[in-house]
């Protein structure tokens, strides 16, 4: 019941009922990434006359955050390549690191020394308070 209500009233938690209906009616599944995001395109690769190319979209696994799309899928989503990563035999190089989403706003976000969001600043020895 909770998932049904979330799909009806929110757009940032996966897909809405409208997106589910559109995907069922006009889309075909292309693949899924390591984060559980599912990628779709127009059925049969049909070109949409209003945009001049096939439509491609993603249904996020959880919160809708564009930084959670890995580089290979990002290239496919933005029509940089016609072959989706699910149809390629790509092997990462040993110097490549795994993709991570943007941690801004989370507990893993960078907080410089002295930030009010991080640990309280420790008083340093070169500072002394002014007293009148």
> Is residue 81 situated within a structural domain?
yes
pLDDT tens for 92-120 read 788 988 888 888 888 888 888 777 776 65
Q: What is the mean pLDDT of residues 32-51?
A: 88
Please report which helix (H) or strand (E) contains residue 53, including its range.
strand 53-54
Domain, as residue range, for 40: 2-87
Residues 43, 125: Cα–Cα separation, whole Å: 67
pLDDT of residue 122: 63
In a domain, 70, yes or no: yes
**Is residue 51 one of the residues assigned to a domain?**
yes
Distances (CA, A) of 122 to 40, 83, 112, 125, 126: 51, 53, 13, 10, 12
Residue 109: C-alpha distances to residues 68, 88, 104 (Å):
15, 33, 5
Count: domains in the chain = 1
Q: Which of 21, 98, 85, 23 is nearest to 55 (CA)?
A: 23
What local confidence, expressed as pLDDT, does residue 77 receive? 92
pLDDT digits (tens, 9 = 90+) for 9-28: 776 666 777 788 888 888 99
Model confidence at 49: pLDDT above 70: yes
Within a domain: residue 7?
yes
């Amino acid at each position: 019941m909770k998932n049904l209500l979330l799909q009806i009233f929110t757009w940032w938690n996966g897909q809405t009922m409208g997106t589910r209906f559109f995907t069922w009616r006009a889309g075909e599944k292309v693949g899924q990434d390591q984060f559980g995001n599912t990628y779709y395109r127009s059925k049969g690769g049909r070109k949409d006359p209003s945009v001049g190319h096939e439509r491609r979209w993603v249904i996020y696994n959880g919160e809708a955050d564009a930084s959670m799309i890995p580089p290979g899928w990002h290239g496919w989503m933005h029509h940089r390549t016609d072959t989706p990563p699910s149809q390629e035999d790509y092997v990462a190089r040993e110097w490549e690191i795994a993709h991570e989403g943007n941690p801004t706003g989370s507990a893993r976000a960078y907080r410089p020394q002295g930030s009010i969001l991080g640990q309280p600043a420790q008083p340093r020895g070169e500072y002394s308070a002014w007293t009148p």
